[in-house]
A and B are shown apart, each in its own frame.
Chain A
């Protein structure tokens, strides 16, 4: 708590000149111009970019992770254990490696096999697929981000599901449940709080992740960073900081503005976590564990 308070203080002090200059426009403004004499800084596009990539990464990553966890839980130990180990190894891959892999390997395949077919088939009718796919865009970044949250989310989900008492599984099987029905009747209701907790851990990473996203999201600036489709480039709060921090002059408002972005990022991450925890608390099972 004290650490967070101190961070907020530091960020607020560092960004004070920019905040004083632009006021509320700093948060809701969409212009971003660091050229001396024509300076204008608005965080909104990056806030939107952050929320969209995090949400997409969750939408792809959480079901994938829970699916993997289900498979591992339901497999004999000699298959499940090595598989779980391999998935957890993914957590050890440094984020810049994901970025490089995404840039040089994944992007090409993804454009060819996913984005272009989607664009060709649906681009004319559905705005989500309208932009010509180039590979450095919201969907690519979110998909790689989704892969990055899989190890955390799936290993926590696995633990939570393994903690469901054997009697619950047997109760479902006794009624003639198939394996899927057993998960639906016995495992999910019992572990939903824990699964939501697992998803929150993933969300934390998805919101804050910098390096891989910076390398894949296309780095649009200002109003153009508000994506007009899944295949548009964008920018997140962490990626704009990573991109511009080195060249920002401390004498101008550029640096305070970037620190201000950090402040908004921190506020976003903390409030998402608080909301998520409140949701989890409301879901808690009466009398049931996990």
Chain B
């Protein structure tokens, strides 16, 4: 019995080695976190099941303070799903199960003592489609999060609103029209308003889900400038379809494919000297 089991195991290992050698669908390299790196945020063995279907499989990544990390990969590869784990946005998705360990400053954010509401105040998020609150003015949108947190002092609100709008590279365009309804701004301005709104609560990490995918090149450029600038204060994790964008703004890049994190390295190295065949094909534009 045990001999048969051992034989089976050996056969399985041989088959695995064969697949590895032939360069067909390879297992991603064993994920590891650099223990001494001092990460702001880490994900260890994170998997996400959507009503039984595995959308993200065993992803391990570390995010450093004051850096921009890009997640690239073809549509449906799980990068957005993974990003949403990082501030527990899946809590509201029926049928989504997140396993593995995600930490912020070493604290497991899925542990029972962590209140997702307080966590989300530390980890802001900007979505693919600009989503300002339509009934509110530009100003009220920016300070909405502060008001939730009980900030009432008008001068403090004004100050933070201006700072946040400046950081989002929007101040010069809206400083005269703060009381205008937010929906009257252009799409690019609305997206920067959403960035300002996320920044106003002074998050430590900012998650961005293809923030420029719905925008024209000039609006995109402004958002990219803002992101590079933000790096001086916080960690940015950005999902993007656009490889040039990843090259322009990010320090580290993770390439995901079919729910696996295939490769995660320094951006320059990942694009110039990819270790993995799939990464190479993707960054050279052979598929995706």
Binding site for B on A (CB under 8 A): 76-77, 165, 167-178, 181, 185-186, 189-190, 192, 285-288
Contact = CB atoms under 8 A, between A and B. Distances in A.
Contacts of A174: 87, 89, 120, 124-125, 127, 198
A274 B94 CA distance: 41
A170 B148 CA distance: 15
B194 interface: yes
Interface residues on B, range: 20 to 34
A80 to B, nearest CB: 11
B181 A189 contact: no
Given A171-B127, A175-B198, A189-B134, 12 more contacts: A173-B89, A174-B87, A174-B127, A175-B144, A175-B201, A176-B120, A176-B145, A185-B144, A189-B133, A190-B134, A286-B181, A287-B184
B69 to A, nearest CB: 19
A72 B94 CA distance: 14
Contacts of A175: 120-121, 144-145, 148, 197-198, 201
B287 interface: no
Contacts of A172: 133
Contacts of A186: 133
A56 B111 CA distance: 47
Nearest to B122: A176
Interface string B122-166: 001101010111111000000011001100000000000000000
Contacts of B145: 175-176
A286 B125 contact: no
Ranked nearest first, the 10 interchain pairs of A and B with the lowest CB-CB distance are A287-B183, A175-B145, A176-B121, A288-B134, A189-B135, A167-B131, A174-B125, A171-B131, A176-B120, A176-B117
B92 interface: yes
B92 A173 contact: yes
B148 A177 contact: yes
Contact of A181 (B87, B148, B201): B148
- Find the residue from B120, B133, B194 having the highest chain A CB count within 10 A: B133
Contacts of B125: 170, 174
B148 A185 contact: yes
Given A177-B117, A189-B136, A169 B148 contact: no
Contact of A285 (B118, B121, B135, B198): B135
Nearest to A165: B131
A286 B121 contact: no
A168 B121 contact: no
Nearest to A74: B92
Contacts of B124: 174
B149 A176 contact: yes
B92 to A, nearest CB: 7
Contact of B92 (A165, A169, A192, A287): A169
A129 to B, nearest CB: 37
8 contacts: A168-B134, A170-B89, A171-B194, A174-B87, A174-B125, A175-B197, A177-B148, A287-B183
Contacts of A173: 89, 92, 120
Nearest to B194: A171
Given A169-B92, A173-B89, A288-B183, A178 B117 contact: yes
B42 to A, nearest CB: 21
Contacts of A167: 127, 129, 131
Interface in B183-223: 183-184, 194, 197-198, 201
A76 B181 CA distance: 34
Contacts of B133: 168, 171-172, 185-186, 189
Contacts of A287: 134, 181, 183-184
Nearest to A188: B135
B123 to A, nearest CB: 9
A61 B127 CA distance: 37
A165 B131 CA distance: 9
Nearest to B117: A176
A155 to B, nearest CB: 21
A173 B120 CA distance: 7
Contacts of B87: 174
Interface string B77-92: 0000000000101001
Contacts of B92: 169-170, 173
B203 to A, nearest CB: 9
Nearest to A169: B92
Contacts of A177: 117, 148
Nearest to A190: B134
